[in-house]
Amino acid sequence: MDSFRMLVALGPLAIYLLLLGLVNLLPRPYLTTGGRDTAALGVALSGFILIGPLELFMPHWPSAHWSEFMWVFWLLLGVLCTLVLTLIVLSQRPRLVIYNISADELRPVLAEAAELLDADARWAGGSLALPRLKVHLHVEPFPGMRNVTLAATTDAQDLGGWRALEQTLAAELTAVRCRPNPLGGAMAVAAVLLLLLVSANLVRDPQALTQGFWEMLRM
């Protein structure tokens, strides 16, 4: 793999792992939406898609006739991939992802936020219903990553209710303190190693970066 393709493939992934590692090393939980979480993962893997399926199945007839306009085809493919990722994000059920916290630590905080939002809130095992907000969710813990997902259980959900839950829960979590996740350190170290690998490859052969870029445009 040349310097340019290594940068395209590993650069976004390394930045994603670094940010994810830093989030998990925080002494407090971090809340984000499922859409943002999916979008970030999609961007992290975009480099592999670019130098993999897109480059593999890129038609050769445009380069034979309009090599100077190949950047237009790459631009259109980038727009297409962005639209596909957007469609995936929009088609998902509402979700909230809370990093660096266990389900047992989250439950009392979530219960307090639910009481503030809806006096009719009720629990059923690991499921929570907020009928006034039209929000029905299930608590899905991921002990290996030490994060929790609040996933919608049905398609009949009110996005306004989910936004209210997100804001209230985020305010409640500001007072919560927890130990940093050791896995965050491993992800940060892996990210730094990837960045060092890419940087060393670029320093060893800086001209290959420009050459690989133009080769991809004119393929």
Band of the pLDDT at 134, cuts 50, 70, 90?
Answer: very high
* Gap between the terminal Cα atoms of the chain: 16
Min mean pLDDT across 24-33, 197-206, 207-216 is at: 207-216
Structure tokens at 136: 């029905």
The Cα 206–Cα 210 span in angstroms is: 8
**DSSP string covering 60-88, please?**
SHHHHH-GGGHHHHHHHHHHHHHHHHHHH
Helix and strand numbers (H, E) in the chain are 10, 6
Q: Which of 191, 175, 140, 199 is nearest to 22 (CA)?
A: 191
Per-residue CA distances from 88 to 19, 28, 37, 134 (Å): 22, 30, 12, 23
Q: Which amino acid is at 198?
A: V
Side-chain-side CA neighbours of residue 8 (13 Å): 20
**What percentage of the chain exceeds 70 in pLDDT?**
86
Q: What is the pLDDT of residues 46-57, one digit of tens each?
A: 888 877 766 666
The Cα 93–Cα 28 span in angstroms is: 26
Mean pLDDT along residues 130-156:
92
Q: What is the pLDDT of residues 55-111, one digit of tens each?
A: 666 656 555 555 566 677 778 888 888 999 999 999 999 999 999 999 999 999 999
At residue 139, the 3 state secondary structure works out as strand
pLDDT of residue 73: 75
The reported pTM is 0.83
Rounded to an integer, what is the distance from CA 187 to the centroid of its chain? Answer: 14
Band of the pLDDT at 215, cuts 50, 70, 90?
Answer: low
Place of tokens 């090393």: 25
Dihedral angle sign, alpha carbons of residues 84, 87, 92, 95:
positive
Q: What is the pLDDT of residues 174-193, one digit of tens each?
A: 989 988 888 999 999 999 99
Q: What is the pLDDT of residues 190-203, one digit of tens each?
A: 999 999 998 888 88
At a CB cut-off of 8 Å and minimum separation 6, what does 130 contact?
114, 117, 118, 120, 121, 136, 161, 165
Place of tokens 């670029």: 202
